[in-house]
A and B are shown apart, each in its own frame.
Chain A
Amino acid sequence: MPEVKTQEFWRWPETNWVNPDIDWKKGKLITAGVDVGSVSTQAVIMVDGELYAYGNTRTGSDSPNSARKGMGFTLEKTDMKIENIDYCIGTGYGRVNVPMAQQSITEISCHARGANFMYGPEVRTVMDMGGQDCKAILVDEKGKVLNFMMNDKCAAGTGRGMEVFADLIRVPIWEIGPRSFQIQKEPPMISSTCVVFAKSEVVGLLESGISANDIMAAYCSAMAHRIMELLNRLGVKEKFAITGGIAKNEGVVKRLEKELGIKTADLVWYKKEYADRGYPFDTQLAGGIGAALFGQVLLKMGKTKSARKT
């Protein structure tokens, strides 16, 4: 029997990074944010409010181990130890189950704060496209939440929906965005909002001989439309930033921009020196960055004490 080659098309690559310009031993306050989401887990370490290291991994079957894995992956390339961290805050879906965290903060606050740091203080609307939920948040210039709305009842328009779709259509998930534009003309969107029904609709389209690229375009526009419906209730104000994994899918983002008539914030660091030095910009980090920044503020305000051991 010939060997069957299996590939999991939804598997996005895990990444970690350490800032080469910072010596953590000279830093005064080292804080961490661990964002345990339903699909991905990020650990972010900040030294005196500057991004020092991060790791972006897939969430496993339980939150404590996913948090440990994320933190271990982040610390892999440095000589920093978990004991050197002053304060760690857990956020995301699994925030109450982060073993190394001293406190947990809801991901709505953390994403607002993180987007303010990543995209800049002009951001007024943050859309977090998570693995199994989406959140629309209006923020002020300090990253404080003014209005929020969350939808985690339905998987339509979520990252996991896109992963399921990638596996079904047998295209690596990072290729869906670019390939959804390699089409003759924009196809009608997938009409089912539910992921399960959308899946059967896609199978039907594949069987009827419609090209994969067209189906990707149809799925991306359906997702963009779903996101827009949620945003419409809140009202979108510029600057508009998208965080989370779906922000990396240009097929969805560009179609959303077209439907809303508003440009989304560019995926570059607001801090000029970060952009100039070419620090990697990962939209999934917003929650972790926000949590780590809250740690800095809480310590400086004296609302909490350092838990550093060595």
Chain B
Amino acid sequence: MIANYGFKDGSGDWYVTIDTGKCNGCGKCPKVCPAKILEVGPDEIDIFREESVAFVKHEERNKVRYSCAPCRPGYGEEPTPCARVCEPKAFSFSDGWIRLYGHK
């Protein structure tokens, strides 16, 4: 399942996308997230899934634009900390950050 956490507003699309088919629930991403918006636990959408899965905390979903901006998703040279530690490469980001902050 492709889980899009975030929002869309007049300024663009602000979504952290987690591919739960790839996520193995290893629990590394919440430890490295500087904004502490990630969590690993039971899958709340697919209630029949046995393994844990990473997701963005409920109360953080409407703030991802600001909490994720310091990690420069998509427009910095380095991948974000969460994407860097994720071995199955489950993380991706929408283009809001690139469009607004990405040009030099």
A residues sitting closer than 8 Å to B (CB atoms) are 105-106, 108-109, 144-154, 193, 229-230, 233, 294
The answer to whether B7 and A106 touch across the interface, beta carbons within 8 angstroms, is no
Cβ A149 vs Cβ B45 within 8 A: no
Q: Which 10 A-B pairs have the closest CB atoms?
A: A147-B2, A153-B7, A149-B4, A153-B62, A106-B44, A109-B45, A145-B45, A145-B1, A151-B7, A151-B8
A195 nearest CB across to chain B (Å): 13
Q: Using CB atoms and an 8 Å cutoff, list the residues of chain B in contact with chain A.
A: 1-4, 7-10, 13, 15, 44-47, 61-62, 94
Q: A108-B45, A109-B45, A145-B46 are in contact. Are A153 and B9 (CB under 8 A)?
A: yes
Q: CB distance A109 to B47 under 8 Å?
A: yes
**Inter-chain pairs besides A109-B46, A145-B45, A152-B7, 11 sampled, C-beta below 8 Å:** A106-B45, A147-B1, A147-B3, A148-B1, A149-B8, A150-B61, A153-B7, A154-B7, A154-B9, A229-B8, A294-B47
A152 touching B62 in the complex, CB below 8 Å, given contacts A105-B47, A294-B47: yes
Asked whether B46 lies within 8 Å of A148 as measured between CB atoms, the reply is: no
Q: How far is the CA of A145 from the CA of B18 in the complex (A)?
A: 14
- Distance (whole angstroms) from the CB of B19 to the closest CB of chain A: 10
A232 to chain B, nearest CB (A): 10
The complex places the Cα of A294 from the Cα of B47 at a distance, in Å, of 9
Q: Which residues of the partner chain B approach A144 to less than 8 Å between Cβ atoms? A: 1, 46
> Quick one: which of A105, A108, A144, A153 has the most chain B CB within 10 A?
A153
Taking a contact as CB atoms under 8 Å apart, the answer to whether A148 and B9 are in contact is: no
Closest to B2 in A: A147
Q: A146-B1, A148-B3 are in contact. Are A233 and B8 (CB under 8 A)?
A: yes
Chain A residues with Cβ below 8 Å from B2 are 146-148
